[in-house]
Amino acid sequence: MGLKILFFGDVVGAIGRNALASVLPGLKDRLAPDLVIANAENLSHGAGVTEKTLLELSAAGVDLFTGGNHSWNNPLGVPLFDDPAWADLLIVPTNYGDAKNGRNWIIRRVGDTDVLIANLMGRLFTHPDTRSPFTSLDLLLTQQRIRDTKVRIVDFHAEATAEKEAFGHFADGRVSAVFGTHTHVATADAKILPGGTAYITDIGRCGAEDSVIGYEKKTAIKAFLDEGSRGYDLPKTGRAELNAVLATIDAETGKTLALDRIREFVAV
């Protein structure tokens, strides 16, 4: 049968949280995943996390949260990354800046199987202090606990499609899955690479459908017309899209047996 990992792309604001909370119980009944993961860097009004927003999705059935460059944007959420109560639930990129706090990877016991969940950032068009995700993966895989863990999931949070594809091929056969996040737009390239690694350039967002990457379209357009000014708003209600992947992984070999894209729509 294999181990089933259900992974949701970036959850953007309240509309994304509410949509995921409404749809996830039914998805769990239908798909019977062993572990549910969601990228949470945009959870709190599109920027960072809070305990309240994390608890909402934990109650809905999300087991673990990954992050990205916006994880620390909400000051209310920053203490959570060093809070023992969240130590086994919340991770951030291992190679993003020297001064950032938080755990970079977790090994979670799922049934009789240990599962590594790791978070890495791309370097292109991101923070100047980001270290190479390629050498960071090499270093990560030298750690004994990780070497002894066959099932390895990587959230690769990056802008550039070329960097993401290159990283996928670099990691092929060394991890079970490389799931791209950050751009909020789902790509149509979900596949299993020759070495048995599941790959998708970007899972896509859980957030407003009629939007610009989950943000209110008029303010997003204005930002471009004003040549770089920011100030995106978030739609509060409307039709939301939920993008995820379901990977079925052989617990003995760590290779992916099947990979399916999931896209659901719901009015919230």
**CATH label of the domain that carries residue 250:** 3.60.21.10
Task: Confirm whether 133 is domain-assigned.
Answer: yes
155: tokens are 């959230």
Residue with tokens 């303010």: 219
Model confidence pLDDT, tens digit, residues 125-180: 887 788 999 999 999 999 999 999 999 999 999 999 999 999 999 999 999 999 99
Spatial distance between the Cα atoms of 18 and 3, rounded to a whole number of angstroms: 27
Task: Confirm whether 96 is domain-assigned.
Answer: yes
Task: Confirm whether 222 is domain-assigned.
Answer: no
Confidence category of residue 230, pLDDT binned at 50, 70, 90: low
- Is residue 231 scored above 60 in pLDDT? yes
- Residue 251: CB partners within 8 Å, gap ≥ 6? 2, 3, 112, 113, 150, 151
Of the chain, the percentage scoring pLDDT greater than 70 comes to: 97
The DSSP 8-state label assigned to residue 131 in this structure reads: P
Task: Confirm whether 216 is domain-assigned.
Answer: no
Please identify which of the residues 45, 70, 157, 169 carries the catalytic annotation: 70
Confidence category of residue 122, pLDDT binned at 50, 70, 90: very high
Q: Cα dist. 231→216, 220, 222, 228 in Å?
A: 10, 8, 9, 10
Task: Confirm whether 224 is domain-assigned.
Answer: no
> Which is nearest to 206 in space by CA: 6, 51, 72?
6
Query: What pLDDT is attached to residue 125?
Result: 86
Q: Could you tell me the residue range of the domain that residue 31 belongs to?
A: 3-208+238-267
Which whole number is the average pLDDT over 85-95? 90
Task: Confirm whether 171 is domain-assigned.
Answer: yes
Query: What pLDDT is attached to residue 166?
Result: 98
Residue with tokens 């079925």: 248
Report how many domains make up the chain.
1
Q: Does the active-site annotation cover 70?
A: yes
Mean pLDDT of the chain, nearest integer: 93
Query: What pLDDT is attached to residue 37?
Result: 98
Amino acid 267 reads A
Residue with tokens 């967002």: 205
Task: Confirm whether 118 is domain-assigned.
Answer: yes
Model confidence pLDDT, tens digit, residues 186-208: 999 999 999 999 999 999 999 99
The DSSP 8-state label assigned to residue 178 in this structure reads: E
H or E element that contains 24: helix 13-31
Which whole number is the average pLDDT over 82-92? 91
The angle subtended at Cα 26 by Cα 183 and Cα 182, nearest 5°, is 10
Query: What pLDDT is attached to residue 233?
Result: 84
Spatial distance between the Cα atoms of 236 and 207, rounded to a whole number of angstroms: 10
55: tokens are 């608890």
Task: Confirm whether 158 is domain-assigned.
Answer: yes
Which whole number is the average pLDDT over 89-112? 86
**185 or 220: whose pLDDT is higher?**
185
For residue 261, report the phi and psi dihedrals to the nearest 5 degrees. -85, 145
Query: What pLDDT is attached to residue 101?
Result: 77
**112 or 227: whose pLDDT is higher?**
112
Confidence category of residue 220, pLDDT binned at 50, 70, 90: confident
Helix, coil or strand: residue 14: helix
Sign of the dihedral defined by the CA atoms of residues 156, 242, 89, 246, in that order: negative
